[in-house]
Structure 1
Amino acid sequence: MGAAAARPAAVRPPLPVKLVIAGGFGVGKTTAVGAISEIEPLTTEAAITEVAAGVDDLTHTPLKTTTTVAMDFGCLTIDPTLKLYLFGTPGQERFGFMWDDLVEGAVGALVIVDTRRLDDCFAAVDYFEHKGIPFAVAANAFDGRVEHTLDEVRWALDVAEGVPLVVFDARDTGSVRDALLVVLELALARTRG
């Protein structure tokens, strides 16, 4: 047996792929990262103060006591060759200056929307359209339902036909995984095309 045959094959680490999870305030970004991450997610949650409560609309999220002030981070190994690094953006407009840094190097994004508050979603959709970053829109099923059909969401947000829309539950690991795989497939299709 030759020396080359006796050596074990080198094991390559998985390819790192950066995806962003974005959306407005309180749509489920931190929840989604927490539901899917194989590590304890890094979060930058801070208490919602009386001042912030006056700025951030808590009408549909009255039990929300914290908010992301910088980013969320988690990761997920898809298979031995691919590992997703997930970066969740802060949702409030006043933290928008961080988005360019968080999105740098991302191959795609999942834009989470709360169909009860579609007005809060325009900024995230516009951001990825203008950046030319492939993205999918995920309508979070709060209380197990969405207020509008996906066709109505597409029309209201003026999302192009080529942008995938899905309904998902940010609390459910399988649901988050499926939504992220839609983004990954979209990003891979772009690299092939």
Structure 2
Amino acid sequence: GQDRFWFLWDELAQGSLGAVVLADTRRLEDCFAAVDYFERRRIPFTVAVNSFEGAERFPTETVQAALDLDPEVPVLVCDARDRSSVRDVLVAVVEHALERAARAREPVAT
């Protein structure tokens, strides 16, 4: 989400299954642009709250409210340095994308 890479986002997002917004609770405001980007383009995304020494920990519901996320957006706590933790986040974003795709295919009740 660094500003110097914004020009690449449209190319990187094209055809993507989903995305992960990696959140640092010390700079949560830095996530707003990425969240807005994925919401506007209707790209399924998951928020991964990176937990590390020195960062204050908050319940995922608090982070979800602070970022004004739809209730369906998964918010997980992870350690970006830990392979299994990152795997769990990637599994969550794929599951979220599959659930959204399945809901989109459901016939509308008349």
Q: TM-score range by the shorter chain?
A: 0.7 to 0.9
Alignment of 1:47-62 (within 5 A): none
Q: Which residue does 2:26 correspond to in 1? A: 116
Runs (5+) with no aligned partner, structure 1: 1-90
Greater share of strand: 1
| Deviations 1:76-133 (CA, angstroms, capped at 9, x unpaired) | xxxxxxxxxxxxxxx3223211100011110111111001111111111111011100
Distance 1:119 1:105 in 2: 27
Matching of residue 163 in structure 1 with residue 73 in structure 2: yes
Matching of residue 174 in structure 1 with residue 84 in structure 2: yes
Runs (4+) of structure 1 exceeding 6 A deviation are none
Relative distance call for 1:105 and 1:176 in structure 2 (3 A) is same
Task: Check whether the contact 2:26–2:55 (CA below 8 A) recurs between aligned residues.
Answer: no
Q: TM-score, normalised by structure 2?
A: 0.86
Residue 184 of structure 1, CA deviation: 0.6
Q: TM-score, normalised by structure 1?
A: 0.51
Alignment of 1:20-99 (within 5 A): 91-99=1-9
CA RMSD of aligned residues (A): 1.4
Rg bigger for which structure? 1
Which amino acid in the other structure matches residue 106 of structure 1? S
Runs (5+) with no aligned partner, structure 2: 104-110
| Paired residues, number | 103
Residue 144 of structure 1, CA deviation: 7.6
Structure 1 range deviating more: 143-152 or 172-181: 143-152
Distance 1:124 1:160 in 2: 14
Greater share of helix: 2
Matching of residue 147 in structure 1 with residue 57 in structure 2: yes
Distance 2:42 2:13 in 1: 11
